[in-house]
Amino acid sequence: MEEEGNQIIFILFSGAFLAALMATFVVSMVILHRQRQVHNKQKMDQIKAEYEKTILNIENEIQQDTLKHIGRELHDNIGQLLSLSKLYLASSKPEKQAEGRQLINQIITEVRGLSKTLNLDWVESISLEEFISQQLDKIKSTGFCEVVFNREDENWELDKDQKLVLIRVIQECLNNAIKHASPNLIKILMEKQEGERAIRISDDGIGFDTSLSSQGSGMTNLRKRMETIGGNFQITSSPGQGTDIILSLPI
C-alpha cells in the first residue's frame, strides 16, 4: 500500500514537473517570438527611415542641380535677352522696337519654361525613356562622344520614387563616364529579362579598377540607392576595357 502511494506521488510529481517544463517552454517561445517581432519591426522602421532619407537626399540633389541650371540660364540666356530687348525698345526705329517686343515674348516663354523646373513635377510628366534620350542627346550635342540608345517599344511603368532614384543613378553613371572614362561611345540599353527590368550603361573608355577605395565609395552609394527601391547595381570594369553597369529592378 505504501509502495502504491509512493508511485502515485512520483507520477504526480513527474506530471507537475513536465507541466512546468512545458509551460516554461511555451513562455520561452512566446518571449522569443515577441523579441523577433520587435526586432523585425525595428529593422523595418530602419529600412523605411533609410528609404525616406535616400529619397529626400535625391530630391535635394536634383533641386540643387535645377537651381544651378536656372542660375546659368538667368545669367547667360535671359540676362542677355533682356539687355538686347532694352536696347531695341530704346531705339527710335519701329522695326527695332518690334524686335524688342518679340524678344520680350521670347523671355516670357523662357521664364515659364524655367518655372516648371523649380519643383519635381517634371519627374511625373516624363518617362524614363524620354529622360535617357534627352541626356544622351545633350552629350552628343556637345561633340564629346557618340551615343547609342536601344530600348523596347513598351514604356516602363514606375512610381515617382523609383523613377527619381533611377534618374539620379543614371545621371551619376553618365557624369562619371564623362569625367573619368574619356569614351568614344556611351551606350544605354533598356530591356526586360526574366522577372526584372534592366538598364545597361556601357562605355568604351579607359575603365578602372573597381576594387580601389576611391572608386568603391561612389559605387557603394549608387548600390545602396538601388537597394532602397528593391533593385540591384552591378558594375564590371578594368583598366583599358571600358565600363559596364547594369541597373536591375524586379517587375
Same domain, 52 and 135: no
Would the pLDDT of 236 be above 90? yes
Residue 68 and residue 135 share a domain: no
0.85 exceeded by the pTM? Answer: no
Task: Clarify whether residues 186 and 92 are in a common domain.
Answer: no
Count of structural domains within the chain: 2
Has residue 45 been placed in a domain?
Answer: yes
Q: How confident is the model at residue 247 (pLDDT cuts 50, 70, 90)?
A: very high
How does residue 153 score in pLDDT terms, banded at 50, 70 and 90?
A: low
Q: 206, exposed or middle or buried, with CB in 10 Å at 0-12, 13-18, 19+?
A: middle
Choose one of 49, 81, 115: the last residue of a domain.
115
Say if residue 40 is in the same domain as residue 153.
no
11 and 101 belong to one structural domain: yes
Whether 91 is in a domain gets the answer yes
3-state secondary structure the chain: CHHHHHHHHHHHHHHHHHHHHHHHHHHHHHHHHHHHHHHHHHHHHHHHHHHHHHHHHHHHHHHHHHHHHHHHHHHHHHHHHHHHHHHHHHCCCHHHHHHHHHHHHHHHHHHHHHHCCCCCHHHHHCCHHHHHHHHHHHHHHCCCCEEEEEECCCCCCCCHHHHHHHHHHHHHHHHHHHHHHCCCEEEEEEEEECCEEEEEEEECCCCCCCCCHHHHHHHHHHHHHHHHCCCEEEEEECCCCCEEEEEEEEC
What's the mean pLDDT in 189-199? Answer: 88
Q: Are residues 29 and 134 in the same domain?
A: no
Average pLDDT of span 102-107: 86
% of the chain beyond a pLDDT of 70: 91
User: Are 194 and 94 within one domain?
Assistant: no
Shared-domain flag, residues 218 and 135: yes
Asked if the structure places residue 121 within a domain, the reply is no
Choosing from 115, 145, 169, the residue where a domain stops is: 115
28-53 residue pLDDT tens: 888 888 888 877 777 777 776 777 77
Average pLDDT, rounded, for the chain: 83
* pLDDT-above-90 percentage for the chain: 26
pLDDT tens-place string over residues 124-142: 788 899 999 999 998 998 8
In a domain, 111, yes or no: yes
Do residues 59 and 144 share a domain?
A: no
Confidence of residue 190 (pLDDT cuts 50, 70, 90): very high
Which of the four pLDDT bands, split at 50, 70 and 90, describes residue 4? low
The domain in which residue 206 lies consists of: 127-250
The residue among 62, 88, 115 that closes a domain is: 115
CA 102 to chain centre: 41
* Residue 12 placed within a domain: yes
At 170, which CATH number? 3.30.565.10
What number is the average pLDDT over the span 78-102?
84
